[in-house]
Structure 1
Amino acid sequence: MTFKLMLKLTNEHHQQPFKGPISITRIEPGNIFKGEQKDTAFGPLSIIDHAVMRKNLTIKMHEHVNDEILSYVWRGTIHHRDSAGEQAPVTRGNLMMMNAGESFWHEEKVTDEQVEMLQIFVRPKEANLKPMIQFQDKEPNNRDWYVMVGPEESDAPLHVRQNVYILDAHPKVGEQLKVPVYQGYQPFLYVMDGAVTIGDLTVEKQEAVTDVVNPLPTVTAIRDTTLVLFFVDFNAPMSFAGTISGLK
């Protein structure tokens, strides 16, 4: 097999829109195409905010419109409160999906140890859908792939109103993982922490890889690693009206 069609997004040029008590590294997944498209999204996968939040931080109640947001906590605990009346801690092994729709407000607090997490923004299939919120517990250290999020008609425990699947895995050093194939969907593999080899590439923390034609080859962890794997339908209709996900 040849790997020349594989593309890598390096960690050298990510934006950092916030620095301080909350530091955000903003991954624009469409940049993996090296400027060959005007939109910085990867189809309806718009933005991955890799955030580090310090102890005693409060992000006050604020609104999202037309954003589908997965909160994926890797370390620490955030305390969530929202306009639907929900209050819940979100930690490693506890997932939260906010389907903002026409309007959704939420607040986040960090009261104890520092938090490292992803906020993943997906463009919904259409604007002004009904707002809702979903929670799901999972095994926090699954070594093989676990499907966290899928379209509404899928068997995934959390639903996004778009043709997008999101999986994770936590392989130990030396372990290999075969990357699944979702017919008609484009893969985007993001390294949350650690490092892997895939084909002839080494992919490290805050880097990603895709292949424009072939399925991705087997991944080998060269350190204990956390991977987040996306499958995206580039032909799906989507709204650009999102507070964050609508950015280009």
Structure 2
Amino acid sequence: MIKKLPKESMGKSNLGWLESCFHFSFAEYRNPENIHFGVLRVLNDDIVHAKSGFDTHPHANMEIISYIVNGEITHKDSMGNSETLKRGEVQYLSAGDGIYHSERNEANEDLRLLQIWIFPPQKGLPRLYGSHKYKAEDRDNKFLNIVSSQNGTSPIKIYQDVNIYVSELDKPLEFEINENRQVYFVQIEGKANINGIVLEDGDAMELVDENKLIINPILKNHILFIEMKK
């Protein structure tokens, strides 16, 4: 089963300093029929304007991944971590029994990021924080596994059984979907034909009971997808 999710049908928010597109129910966007997809609870496409951001706030029992699309993000947390990340770089946080952090755009240009929340396999797991500064060539016309489970091979490992891939591509690519696995796909930039359905910048797609993901670029593409158990 393939379900296209046009960006026009997603939740929207504009707080002045922050413009968001909500793939799932979040903040003021309430849709009881759209709470999560498998273990994927939140996927927000955020634009944080210059010299603003998320001030210090708490999280617990959630695995949070930030994928930077454009601009830069500066992170600080109660574990003593502090760093700035740019396009294609990834930050992750397994909040465990609780952590405080801030995420700000201290630059003079807009920051665009995908904020991804994953349900952990259980509550109260040890807190984790980390990042990885992937290079553009790592995702050029190939799938880059930016996040995996603890048993996976990605430099970034979280507790949940998921794999997150990104690519910037201008030629066709295929990905095998194993039995009892499913995919949530995001067209970050560009335009492509995905399994016979056209997606444009900001659109998404659910793939359930499919055995292959087939990407045929129409324009230069930047994509992300999350592969997980059903």
TM-score (norm 1): 0.84
Deviation at 1:22, TM superposition (A): 0.9
The aligned residue for residue 127 of structure 1 is 123
Q: CA 1:159 to 1:18, structure 2 compared with 1: closer, same or farther past 3 Å?
A: farther
- Greater alpha carbon shift after TM alignment, 13-22 vs 185-194: 13-22
- Residue pair 2:181, 2:208 contacting (<8 A) in 1 also: no
Quote the Cα distance in structure 2 between the aligned partners of 1:15 and 1:39. 10
CA distance, structure 2, for counterparts of residue 217 and residue 96 of structure 1: 26
- Report how far residue 79 of structure 1 moved: 0.9
Q: 1:213 aligns with which of 209, 213, 225?
A: 209
Tell me the CA shift for residue 17 of structure 1.
3.9
- Per-residue deviation, 1:147: 0.4
CA contact (8 A) 2:55 2:103 kept: yes
Paired residue type of 2:136:
P
8 Å Cα contact 1:194/1:225 also seen in 2: yes
Is the aligned partner of 1:138 residue 2:134? yes
Equivalent residue for 2:28? Answer: none
Task: For residue 85 of structure 1, report the CA deviation from its aligned partner.
Answer: 0.4
TM superposition shift of 1:130: 1.4
2:36 maps to 1:10? no
Task: Identify the residue that residue 61 of structure 2 maps to in structure 1.
Answer: 66
* Equivalences, count: 222
**Structure 2 unmatched ranges of 5 or more:** 26-30
Is 18-27 or 145-154 further displaced after alignment?
18-27
Question: 1:38–1:26: structure 2 CA closer, same or farther, 3 Å change rule?
Answer: closer
Change (3 A) 1:85 1:185: same
Give the whole-Å Cα distance in 2 for the aligned partners of 1:86 and 1:122: 21
Instruction: Determine if contact 2:193/2:199 at 8 Å carries over to the other structure.
Output: yes
Q: Matches of 1:18 and 1:84 in 2, distance apart?
A: 31
Within a 5 Å distance, the mapping from 1:94-243 to structure 2 comes to: 94-112=89-107, 113-141=109-137, 142=139, 143-172=141-170, 175-234=171-230
Maintained 8 Å contact 2:48/2:111: yes
Give the Å deviation of 1:15: 1.0
Q: Which runs of 4+ in 1 moved over 6 A?
A: none
Question: Which structure features the higher share of strand residues?
Answer: 2
Q: Is the 8 A contact 1:186 1:231 kept in 2?
A: yes
Looking at both structures, which has the greater relative contact order when contacts are Cα pairs under 8 Å and sequence separation is at least 6? 1
User: C-alpha separation between the residues in 2 aligned to 1:221 and 1:20?
Assistant: 34
**Cα distance in 2 for residues equivalent to 1:178 and 1:21:** 38
Task: For residue 105 of structure 1, report the CA deviation from its aligned partner.
Answer: 0.9
Alpha-carbon distance change, 132 to 103 in structure 1, aligned in 2, over 3 angstroms:
same
Secondary structure of 1:178 counterpart: strand
Are the aligned partners of 2:182 and 2:210 in contact in 1 as well (CA < 8 Å)?
no
Q: In the TM superposition, what whole-angstrom CA distance separates every residue of 1:12-69 from its partner, at most 9, and x where no partner exists?
A: 221124431111111129xxxxx9x946211101110100011110321110111101
- Tell me which amino acid in the other structure corresponds to 1:44: V
Q: SS in structure 1 opposite 2:205?
A: strand
3-state SS of 1:153 partner: coil
The 3-state SS of whatever aligns with 1:170 is strand
Note the aligned Cα RMSD (angstroms).
1.8
